[in-house]
Amino acid sequence: MPLDTDSHAQSASRIPASGRRRTPGRRARLHWTAVAAALTTLALPAVAAVPAATASDLSALSGHAAAAPGLSAASGLSAASGQASAASGQASAASGQAAAASGLSAAASDMLDVPVVPGQAVAVDDFYTPPDPLPDGADGEVVRWREEPRQLSARNYLVMYHSTNATGRDIPVTGRVLVPTTPWRGEGPRPIVSVASGTRGVGDTCAPSRWLDYERPFIEPMLLAGWAVVVTDYEGLGTPGGHTYVVGQSEGRAVIDVVRAATNLPATGLQAGGKVAFSGYSQGGGGAMWAGELQPTYAPELDLVGVAAGGVPADLSEVAEGLDGQVGFGFLLFAAYGLDAAYPELDLESYLNERGRETFEREKDACVDATLAHAFQNIGMFTTTDPLQSPQWQARLDENRLGANPPDVPIRLFHGTLDEIVAPGQARTLRDEYCAAGADVQWEWHLGEHVSTMVTGAPGVVAFLDRRFKDRPFLVHC
């Protein structure tokens, strides 16, 4: 449920088409009311993950909207009664009551089966092993690709492409390109939305391109609108090396470069020069916003028209403080792994006690369901010295703090008032910093915790992107 309660909302104004603002039409609202209601009912608990390339399993999705486990980088739930739920989002609430503040139905909360999630049984796929040595290539240049079985309304391509990581090194990244059968009826080439995924985990088996994506119900309306959708696996998910979880300097470039890869692949039929948007929630909200901040200097050739991001971890230090000792502590472990993978000089293991070293080895290939086991733990249980307090770690955290370079395009930000994983205060600060810098920000509070806000925020994202691609006005709150 969206709430415009801040002073920014009260000073909202409409921007003319040339200035880039929009409000959802009645038709879109009615469509999304039905979609959101269905997704809210089915979002929890998670359905079993299935291999993305299995056509028979993919077809089953259309029968029951099953791809919406409603999990993202902060996938724990706050029960409506105030009881914290499982931090995993791939499991129902630890107490067996998953009635989230968004009003999830009793039918959803009664479904207590823990689903199958990507694990070590994933079939070996040589596609994800890059050539050694990696051939030279510009950012976004395709290393290899293959067409896979059609996914619902779209042709489906798996790609490996060049990108640049947080320390400036050329790396291979994998991802997926979805090209809808629905024609694009607007002006210019078919637009592309680069959807930055929410948390999947830190192990190779968790890569979004390997599995039927739990965010697919939120992607399908984009495809039905005639937009191409590209989804990166980020650095180190699927490909060799550790996943640089929530490290924006790496994630933002991967989100950008998968757009370049899609237009560099003739088989897709996508053309360079069309309108582009970035979108994501939670970990993906951070990835999308980082892509927006990096684009003017990293990919100025892209015709970026908007960024939509929810549940954004803009300030990792503040997010970490909010997770320590709380239901979502497992995500703080993932973030420590991610920073260590991005910046080896941080030497995470040198801070760990015996329990920490054992946990590091056990969870370094974990998918998101593993966060459940770490609810309410704290940093002191695993370390001899808190790495987050060291100058080296603080410097890298500061490098990955959003807000210094607001995108020069319209931005839609939204956040849950009861978000128990990604601190709401730091998201509000990001909005204020963008507004103070003159950015055009559409801001919306949602009455809900982390997962329900992903569901209730989805209609507004599609409405915002639709208006951006059609160059229509949108509501601004700065």
Where in the chain are the domains? 1-478
Residue that wins the pLDDT comparison between 61 and 149:
149
The answer to whether residue 189 scores a pLDDT higher than 60 is: yes
Which pLDDT score is estimated for 96? 32
Determine the pLDDT at residue 225. 97
185 to 18, 226, 302, 380, 466: CA distances (angstroms): 20, 8, 20, 56, 12
- Taking the C-alpha atoms of residue 280 and residue 251, their distance in angstroms, rounded to an integer, is 12
**The CATH number of the domain covering residues in 1-478:** 3.40.50.1820
Pick the range with the lowest mean pLDDT from 122-126, 257-261, 351-355. 122-126
CA-nearest of 80, 105, 84, 82 to 94 is 84
Residue with tokens 């999308």, as numbered in its chain: 288
CB 258 within 8 A of CB 278: no
What's the chain's average pLDDT? 80
For residue 177, what pLDDT is reported? 97
What is residue 368's predicted lDDT score, i.e. its pLDDT?
93
At 1, which amino acid appears?
A: M
pLDDT mean over 330-343:
97
Per residue in 138-153, pLDDT (tens digit) is 999 999 999 999 887 8
- Does residue 45 have a cis peptide bond before it, meaning omega lies within 30 degrees of 0? yes
pLDDT at 73 over 70: no
Q: Which of 59-73, 296-310, 344-358 has the lowest mean pLDDT?
A: 59-73
What separation in angstroms does the CA of 245 have from each of 198, 201, 287, 457? 10, 8, 10, 23
Tell me the pLDDT band of 16, cut-offs 50, 70 and 90: very low
Q: pTM of the entire structure?
A: 0.79
Residue with tokens 């993305």: 52
Q: What is the pLDDT of residues 19-49, one digit of tens each?
A: 433 333 444 444 333 333 333 333 332 322 3
Backbone angles phi, psi at 106, to 5 degrees: -65, -30
Q: What gap in Å lies between CA 274 and CA 465, rounded to an integer?
A: 14
pLDDT higher at 232 or 90: 232
| Helices 450-469 and 26-42: angle between axes, nearest 10 degrees | 150
The torsion angle over the Cα atoms of residues 318, 319, 324 and 329, rounded to 10 degrees, is -170
Percent of the chain past pLDDT 90, that is, above it, reads 70
